[in-house]
């Protein structure tokens, strides 16, 4: 089945409320979208929402790339060849993971629609449902406690707390949260904001933390070897399969890898990272940026296809005040359930 048209557009979307992480504050987000139309009229959808501070690419850059002659040359190609088409895009748009992800997601969606199967079934689904964490950004302790109470009322089981600016306040915040919502699991994300001494103090003063995400800056991973902690997770350190392979060698600084489609470059690259982690007995955590339901759903499909997936942090679409699509998944008491329809089960909103 031939591809007969590709279209791209950029959409700025407001967030439900501004939020902060170590070093950044956000009030809106721009998303790039890609449509891949087949000769039978079916349209696969893709999207890009890369984090410039992590990968050096913006959604505006993604939209420009997706409008290039290289992407237009997909017209006339066959959707049955989608793995090779994705590989070509990865080579051409090297170091541009947002652009890669949009193409990868759109082609996976189009192929799933064409053959009448969900992407998760094509990948080989292993997991039924897992709870997602919801994020408490950098804020005062009273505000964090209030957000935690509200999230608990909504049925969420796991909190991810942004930290990384004031270590003593971080410690107090986590302890207070555990007192207020003792039945919720707590994860923390310093966003590379800790020194080794900060991390040692945090580990000494807190307990029952589910995991700590990328505590030290990229380049200092070897400092973690002295800690022998099983709850340390890599995020910004895992930029692709090469980095995943390097950090899988003993002594391993991390026991968990955070995979984001907008950081890895889409499903094909994410699967490569996931399989490296599986061989090294490293657990998987699937994360996101502020993203459309479309790419959140895409991440969920591949996450549920990997047996070493243990954690989800796929709350990025909850922050959007609007979206261009609906469907994909259902959220039930904090658990994410796929809607099993062809492709990603996504409906474009007119």
SS3 label, residue 191: coil
Residue 133: strand pairing partners: 158
Distance between start and end Cα atoms, the chain: 26
- Please enumerate in sequence order all residues whose Cβ is within 8 A of that of 259, keeping only pairs 6 or more positions apart, or say none: 238, 270, 273, 274, 284, 285, 286, 287, 299
Alpha helices, DSSP H, located in 1-81? 52-55, 59-66, 69-72
C-alpha–C-alpha distance, residues 75 and 69, integer Å: 10
Which of 264, 211, 313, 248 shows the shortest CA–CA distance to 104? 264
C-alpha distances out from residue 43 to 7, 109, 182, Å: 10, 8, 46
C-alpha–C-alpha distance, residues 67 and 8, integer Å: 6
DSSP conformation class of 252? P
C-alpha–C-alpha distance, residues 233 and 212, integer Å: 6
Taking a C-beta distance cutoff of 8 angstroms, is the pair 164, 193 a contact? yes
C-alpha–C-alpha distance, residues 198 and 171, integer Å: 10
What are the pLDDT digits (tens) for 2-28?
A: 999 999 999 999 888 776 665 667 788
Residue 327: strand pairing partners: 346
CATH number of 3-117: 3.30.390.10
Q: What residues does each domain of the chain span?
A: 3-117, 121-348
CATH architecture of 121-348: Alpha-Beta Barrel (3.20)
C-alpha distances out from residue 72 to 8, 48, 279, Å: 10, 17, 38
**How wide is the angle at C-alpha 160 spanned by C-alphas 129 and 292, nearest 5°?**
60
Taking a C-beta distance cutoff of 8 angstroms, is the pair 67, 36 a contact? no
Handedness of CA 207, 257, 107, 64 (dihedral sign): positive
What does pTM read for this prediction? 0.95
Handedness of CA 147, 149, 152, 154 (dihedral sign): negative
Backbone angles phi, psi at 148, to 5 degrees: -60, -40
What pLDDT is stored for residue 20 in this prediction?
A: 67
Taking a C-beta distance cutoff of 8 angstroms, is the pair 315, 336 a contact? no
What are the pLDDT digits (tens) for 163-192?
A: 999 999 999 999 999 999 999 999 999 999
| Length of the chain measured in residues | 350
Tokens representing 148 are 């935690």
Residue for token pair 């942090």? 313
C-alpha distances out from residue 347 to 43, 51, 339, Å: 10, 25, 11
What pLDDT is stored for residue 28 in this prediction?
A: 85
The alpha carbons of the chain give a radius of gyration, in whole angstroms, of: 20
What are the pLDDT digits (tens) for 254-291?
A: 999 999 999 999 999 999 999 999 999 999 999 999 99
Tokens representing 299 are 């991440």
Pairing of β 209-213 and β 185-189: parallel
Regions of the chain with pLDDT less than 50: none
What pLDDT is stored for residue 27 in this prediction?
A: 80
Which of 19, 18, 22 shows the shortest CA–CA distance to 170? 22
């Amino acid at each position: 089945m031939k591809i007969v048209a590709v279209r791209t557009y950029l959409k700025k979307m407001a967030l439900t409320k501004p939020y902060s992480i170590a070093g950044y504050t956000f009030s809106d987000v721009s998303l790039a979208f890609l449509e891949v139309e087949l000769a039978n009229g079916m349209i696969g959808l893709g999207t890009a929402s890369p984090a410039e501070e992590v990968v050096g690419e913006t959604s505006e850059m993604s939209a420009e790339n997706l409008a290039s002659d290289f992407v237009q040359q997909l017209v006339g190609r066959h959707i049955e060849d989608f793995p090779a088409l994705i590989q070509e895009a990865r080579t051409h748009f090297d170091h541009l993971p947002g652009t890669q992800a949009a193409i990868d997601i759109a082609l996976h969606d189009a192929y799933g629609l064409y053959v009448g199967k969900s992407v998760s079934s094509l990948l080989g689904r292993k997991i039924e449902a897992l709870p997602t964490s919801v994020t408490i950004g950098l804020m005062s302790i009273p505000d964090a406690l209030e957000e935690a109470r509200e999230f608990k009322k909504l049925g969420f089981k796991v909190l991810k707390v942004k930290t990384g600016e004031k270590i003593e306040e971080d410690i107090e915040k986590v302890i207070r949260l555990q007192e207020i919502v003792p039945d919720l699991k707590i994860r923390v994300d310093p966003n590379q904001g800790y020194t080794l001494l900060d991390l040692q103090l945090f580990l000494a003063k807190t307990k029952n933390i589910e995991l700590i995400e990328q505590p030290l800056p990229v380049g200092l991973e070897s400092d973690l070897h002295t800690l022998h902690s099983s709850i340390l997770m890599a995020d910004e350190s895992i930029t692709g399969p090469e980095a995943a392979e390097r950090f899988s060698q003993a002594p391993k600084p991390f026991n968990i890898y955070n995979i984001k489609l907008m950081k890895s470059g889409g499903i094909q690259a994410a699967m490569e990272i996931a399989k490296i982690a599986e061989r090294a007995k490293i657990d998987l955590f699937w994360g996101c940026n502020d993203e459309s339901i479309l790419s959140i759903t895409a991440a969920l499909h591949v996450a549920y296809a990997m047996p070493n997936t243990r954690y989800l942090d796929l709350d990025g679409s909850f922050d959007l005040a609007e979206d261009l699509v609906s469907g994909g998944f259902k959220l039930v008491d904090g658990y994410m359930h796929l809607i099993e329809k062809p492709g990603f089960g996504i409906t474009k909103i007119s």
